[in-house]
Chains A and B, each alone.
Chain A
Amino acid sequence: MIIWLEKHMPKIVLAPSFLIAVIFVYGFIGWTAWVSLTRSRLLPRYDLHGFIQYERLFDSARWDTALNNLYIFGFLFIIISTLLGLMLAILLDQKIRTEGVIRTIYLYPMALSLIVTGTAWKWILNPGLGLEATVRDLGWTDFSFDWLVNPDMAIYTVVIASVWQASGFVMALFLAGLRSIDQEVIKAAQVDGIPTWRIYASIIIPSMASIFLSAFIVLAHLAIKSFDLVIALTGGGPGFATDLPATYMYTMAFSRGDLGQAASSAMVMMMIIFAIVVPYLYSELRAKHD
């Protein structure tokens, strides 16, 4: 008996977490899928009505905007955060005297609640109160920075604020990676006379492939969940120009008493997540067996 227990201990240990995932992740996704096929309003109902919620969803102008915004915002947020994080990590890697302080400065935004940072950025980006007004007061009266109130440009302000929040964390990831590279390889390359930038480009960056992947996953996860920041910064506006699937889903579920819609938008969101995450997990875990 003891031997049997001991042999299967790893599985026994994992079982509770697995069970939790089955119920609270997959079970709830299943529940959501079911509700997305009903005409639920205020509270969930369970009689099926086919795909009508999806039809309504794809017919909705606001959902179109939300999806578009997700692509724009997601793409820019992930790319800029990654590049900025990488650049800052490389810069910080150059034996800076005040590295600890600067690193903390870049990292702390992640610690702040989004309700808080959204409000602060709202002020800074407001034409009448923030950056535009200040620069104009300083003398450059033609300076204009009214992206926040411009329906076409507002989504980019969301990018600015969220890059601010997350890029420090990405920088930390890359910095750790830089620090863990084998110094022998670098020294050998230097002895061979290869210029610094080339060493970075051909040796260091490629060897951090797995970090790029980790950063991508964390950022993609943050982009899709982006809700608090949008609500605090723009409220989804002007109009609904900065709506994202997460805010759409929340509004439908809790402000409009339209749970069926919310569930269908959630399912579409989950499918997008699935399409991104599964390939990553597959490549990640396949590599293990090499």
Chain B
Amino acid sequence: MTNFANRSTLNVSVKNLALRWLLYAVLALFAIYYMLPLFVMVTTSLKSLEEIRTGSLISLPRDVTFQAWMTAWSGACSGIKCEGLRPYFWNSVIMAVPAVLISTFIGALNGYAVAQWRFRGANLIFALILFGCFIPFQVVLLPMARLLGQMGLAGSIPGLIMVHVIYGIGFTTLFFRNYYVTIPPELVKAAKIDGASFFRIFFSIFLPLSLPIIVVTIIWQFTQIWNDFLFGVSFSEAGTQPVTVALNNIVNSTTGVKEYNVDMAAAIIAALPTLLVYVVAGKYFIRGLTAGSVKG
């Protein structure tokens, strides 16, 4: 970290102390801004409906009850099935995990090929692949539906995996390419002289170096894929719907008493895997970004 500890006269250290306090105050203020929605969601999920109706948004629950959480997990209604989020959770898992791993691996190979093996048109190909990051999903929905149908993958989990891999390759290639570009080309030259092949160099030299960027890519991809609703609702059928579709059914139903506490609990449950990934791997995230998309 940038070290300004050289200045050490008494006046300045008092000033420094005051500035420190100001610094912490500002950081705390922003922490409130960021935490506010989560706070509201958590406290609401722990209140009873009666308390929600009569109490204020920001108040802490008088009587903490986990009933809403139980309902959200295994009792909330999505259509005529009232089994909560649990059945859909697994669908999301078996869709997201392969999609993340496959797209990350492909991105790694792509990034490696573009960054370390200069051939004519490498950058152009990279740019063309990269553009896929920017296409809005609504545009691809209908033609993809037709294509999936023709391939016989409509409504299946493998179909969903394929779609997510296709539209994840742009970003994963970007992350890996930016990372590998900072590795000196001498490494590859030396290895080639020793007689190593393209893949040999990748697996024995580059992959071991890549932990930070792998973590970054996995975090980004997992977040995007797990939280996706549009592809999930369009390319699944009864029995293969991911958890976001169930969440939408629980939260956006228009009749009857709105069970806000169940809604909030359901939303948090649906978000737990991504939150977990962020919290646990947050440290790697910074380290990965340092070497990845940062250095252009």
Contacts and interface: CB of A to CB of B under 8 A. Distances in A.
A137 to B, nearest CB: 6
Contact of B134 (A10, A22, A224): A224
Interface in B116-132: 117, 119, 122-123, 125-132
Interface stretch (A11-19, A57-65, A72-80, A144-152): A11-19
Interface string B252-293: 000000000001100110110011011100110111011101
A266 to B, nearest CB: 5
B169 interface: yes
Contacts of A55: none
Contacts of A124: 36-37, 40, 57
Contacts of B166: 20, 24
B58 A24 contact: no
A224 B137 CA distance: 11
Given A113-B267, A214-B296, A10 B57 contact: no
Interface stretch (B22-30, B64-72, B83-91): B22-30
B57 A21 contact: no
Interface string A15-45: 0111011101111110110000000000010
Interface size class of A (residues with CB under 8 A): 35 or more
B173 A17 contact: yes
B10 interface: no
B227 interface: yes
B30 to A, nearest CB: 6
A110 B110 contact: no
Contacts of A13: 109-110, 113, 198
Contacts of B46: none
B278 A104 contact: yes
B131 A25 contact: yes
A179 B143 contact: no
B278 A96 contact: no
B283 A108 contact: no
Contact of A181 (B2, B31, B58): B2
Interface in B29-65: 30-31, 33-38, 40-41, 56-58
Contacts of A17: 106, 110, 129, 169, 173
Nearest to B227: A113
A227 B290 contact: no
A52 interface: no
A267 to B, nearest CB: 9
A175 B286 CA distance: 8
Contact of A108 (B114, B126, B128, B275): B275
A26 B123 CA distance: 18
A119 to B, nearest CB: 7
A48 interface: no
Contacts of B143: 27-28, 31-32
A176 B286 contact: yes
A269 B31 contact: no
B93 interface: no
A25 B132 contact: yes
A284 B117 CA distance: 18
Contacts of A285: 123, 126-127
Given A17-B169, A24-B144, A93-B1, A100 B282 contact: yes
A78 to B, nearest CB: 15
Interface string A163-207: 010001000110111111101001100100000100100001000
A24 B167 contact: yes
B43 to A, nearest CB: 11
10 contacts: A9-B117, A18-B125, A96-B27, A121-B37, A124-B36, A176-B290, A179-B290, A221-B134, A266-B138, A281-B130
Given A25-B131, A103-B286, A227-B136, 13 more contacts: A9-B113, A18-B129, A20-B132, A20-B166, A32-B143, A91-B27, A100-B283, A108-B278, A112-B274, A119-B251, A120-B37, A180-B295, A277-B134
